[in-house]
Amino acid sequence: MGETTAKVHEIVKYPDPVLMKRGAPITVFDAKLKQLVEEMFESMYAAQGIGLAAPQIGLSQRLTVIDCSFRKDPEQKVVLINPEIVERKGKQLEEEGCLSLPEIREKVSRAAWVKVKAQDVKGEWFEIEGTELLARAMQHEIDHLDGVLFIDRMSRLKRDLLVRKIKKMQKNGEW
């Protein structure tokens, strides 16, 4: 009975409509939610990511998991439920990728430091601060919960070129 293997979910790809929708707040903090969080970490690791939002596995809910250490340091595993950015400072321009937009990497401007207020799996509110990669990951994942993708943060010209490229790949069955 002690064997609990977390199910690995398939990652939803752009332009799935679930990715463009604001996630619903989570109100029930139970064993099912804990299980979902475990499955999200497993799905994220399986897809070689450092962050995963519920909409990316087809669930329109305000839940995201992040691990900037990619499994190396359990202390760095972050679970954000119903998160909101309460403060941001500075600027960083770094390359980002997204599991829902495989193979696409582009520079995106984000705050260099953020403070996020969120709930944990028990429903307790807490605050977490992040700089550099963690700050970027939190902003990227919270964007997902608002139906915003990192390509929406690019210049219109760059985004249009990418969307055209994706459409061509879809037509050729490569997406």
Cα–Cα–Cα angle for 129, 31, 128, nearest 5°?
Answer: 5
- The answer to whether 9 is annotated as binding is no
Mean pLDDT, residues 75-89 taken together? 97
- The answer to whether 140 is annotated as binding is yes
- For the chain, list the domains and their CATH numbers: 17-171 (3.90.45.10)
* Main-chain phi, psi angles of 58, to 5 degrees: 85, 10
| pLDDT per position as a tens digit, 133-175 | 999 999 999 999 999 999 999 999 999 999 999 999 999 999 9
Q: Map residue 144 onto helix, strand or coil.
A: helix
What is each CA distance from 23 to 15, 68, 175, in whole angstroms? 16, 23, 24
| pLDDT per position as a tens digit, 90-125 | 999 999 999 999 989 999 999 999 999 999 999 999
4: pLDDT strictly greater than 90? no
Provide the percentage of residues in the chain whose pLDDT is more than 90. Answer: 96
Which residues are part of the catalytic machinery? 141
- The answer to whether 68 is annotated as binding is no
